[in-house]
Amino acid sequence: MSSSYDSSEEEFDMEEEEDLAMILAMHINKKPKHGGSVMGRQKIWRDRIDAHNRLIRHYFAENPTYPESYFRRRFRMSTELFRRIAEKLASHDRFFQQRRNAAGELGHSTFQKVTASLRMLAYGIPANLVDDHLAMGESQAIMCVKRFAVGIVQVFGEEYLRSPTAEDAVRLLAMNKARGFPGMLGSIDCMHWSWKNCPKAWHGQFHGQKKGSTIILEAVADQETWIWHAFFGMPGSLNDINVVNRSPLMNKIANGELPPVQFVANGRRYNYGYYLADVIYPKWQTFVKPLKKPEGKKNLDFHNAQAAARKDVERAFGILQAQFAIVRGPARFWDQKMLWYIMHACVIMHNMIIENERGQDLDYSQYELLGHPVRVRRRAERVARFVASYHAIRGPASHNDLQKDLIEEWWAWNGRQRAS
């Protein structure tokens, strides 16, 4: 009796073990959901201290392995500017400070985190490619570039992505008057950034000029390729006219938020500055477009001069993409807000580099934010003033008068240049 009981108990134990083995196998083979811990995850011990010391020896020591020219090529900026950015970010965000984790292990240094961010932005590389020389895992590298972009915008955005001040406007007007364009504030155009991971439901809205989804950046740049205005986030299906109608640039002019500009062209006084634009832009007083069918030497020369000066913004786009390859290749982030931060961070650092290296002859061949929130103002005099400015800016008659006067003004300036 006892033997039969023992045998049945053994059979029950075997069946229970088989059931447990089957459940365990099903659990192991089941794909985990995105996020959270993963069973069987391998813990890799990385020597962060050795990676930090190696980075210091290569670039930041008293006698570094690589000279300043190598640093400029690989980091897109000077060591002086790099140190300034690292210091400001460390004081702004505790994430960039070197701290110990819960296990008492010393984390990555400020230089390691900033280097990982800049390498990903400059080369457009995946996050796991910084692991071998910075001893940094993929998730940590992605976190670095996200916090870096947000920090750059929050710390430096007010200074390096500002609208022109009165002093800036005086300098811009003098710079462009010397080129034969009095009253010119810059050149305006749009650039498309491919969005690889655009949500499927948005593909129709963001389908741009090229195959696939894109997001538009509208920018204004001067002769030094400094970007004074950056409006990013419009879907790629829109053209330049749709973008400028949603852009805050014209509203700033109409509201008087930009410095007043007055100039004389061909003996006529104008109260608004203007931007050189492509032929697709509307006939507003604030845009000077190329002539559709230039006839005669005077019109043809002005047409060519306008096209040459308008290349400022296209050069700015080219330099921006050469410095930060992440905005040249397809964007791989899902979150549109993070793309907004990354684009603006690249524009801000582009301006910081121009200021830091102004006067140097550099080789750039090496290498809920769909709009601005609207605040309703119901003061009658303010509304009336805005409407008057709005119609004055967008009047085609004013545009035609300005274009004719600029042709005469440029022709006279060109004659003086040849005579001298």
Domain boundaries of the chain, sorted by first residue: 48-159, 163-419
* Higher per-residue pLDDT: 31 or 84: 84
**pLDDT at residue 124 is higher than 60:** yes
* Higher per-residue pLDDT: 364 or 299: 299
Q: Which of the given ranges, 5-14, 142-151, 246-255, has the highest pLDDT on average?
A: 142-151
Q: Give me the pLDDT at residue 400, please.
A: 80
Helix (H) or strand (E) run with residue 14 in it: helix 2-29
d(C-alpha 87, C-alpha 291), whole Å: 50
**pLDDT at residue 10 is higher than 70:** no
Q: Give me the pLDDT at residue 398, please.
A: 72
- pLDDT-based confidence at residue 381 (cuts at 50, 70, 90): low
**pLDDT at residue 149 is higher than 90:** yes
* Higher per-residue pLDDT: 375 or 346: 346
Q: Give me the pLDDT at residue 369, please.
A: 32
Report the amino acid identity of residue 363: D
Name the average pLDDT for the chain. 83
The label of the residue with tokens 């006219």 reads 241
Long-range pairs, 207-212, Cβ under 8 A, ≥24:
207/236, 207/237, 208/235, 208/236, 208/237, 209/236, 212/330
Q: Give me the pLDDT at residue 376, please.
A: 37
Q: What is the DSSP letter of 379?
A: -
* Higher per-residue pLDDT: 331 or 44: 331
pLDDT tens-digit readout, 12-26? 556 666 666 666 665
**pLDDT at residue 120 is higher than 50:** yes
Please, how many CA atoms are within 13 Å of residue 313, restricted to the half-sphere of its CB? 22
**pLDDT at residue 393 is higher than 90:** no
pLDDT tens-digit readout, 260-277? 888 888 888 998 899 999
- pLDDT-based confidence at residue 38 (cuts at 50, 70, 90): low
d(C-alpha 149, C-alpha 91), whole Å: 15
**Alpha carbon of residue 376 to chain centroid:** 29
**pLDDT at residue 75 is higher than 90:** yes
Task: Kindly give the pairing relationship between strand 263-265 and strand 268-270.
Answer: antiparallel
Q: Which SS3 state, helix, strand or coil, does residue 416 take?
A: helix
d(C-alpha 243, C-alpha 235), whole Å: 9
Mean pLDDT of 116-141: 91
Residues facing residue 229 across a β-bridge: 220
**pLDDT at residue 394 is higher than 90:** no
**pLDDT at residue 100 is higher than 80:** yes
Q: Give me the pLDDT at residue 368, please.
A: 34
pLDDT tens-digit readout, 164-215? 999 999 999 999 999 999 999 999 999 999 998 888 888 888 887 667 889 9
**pLDDT at residue 36 is higher than 60:** no
Phi, psi of 275 (to 5 degrees): -125, 140
Q: Give me the pLDDT at residue 44, please.
A: 79
The answer to whether the beta carbons of residues 76 and 115 sit under 8 Å apart is: no
pLDDT tens-digit readout, 404-420? 888 888 888 888 888 87
Mean pLDDT of 232-241: 88
* Higher per-residue pLDDT: 99 or 418: 99
Helix (H) or strand (E) run with residue 123 in it: helix 110-123
Mean pLDDT of 234-262: 85
pTM of the model: 0.81
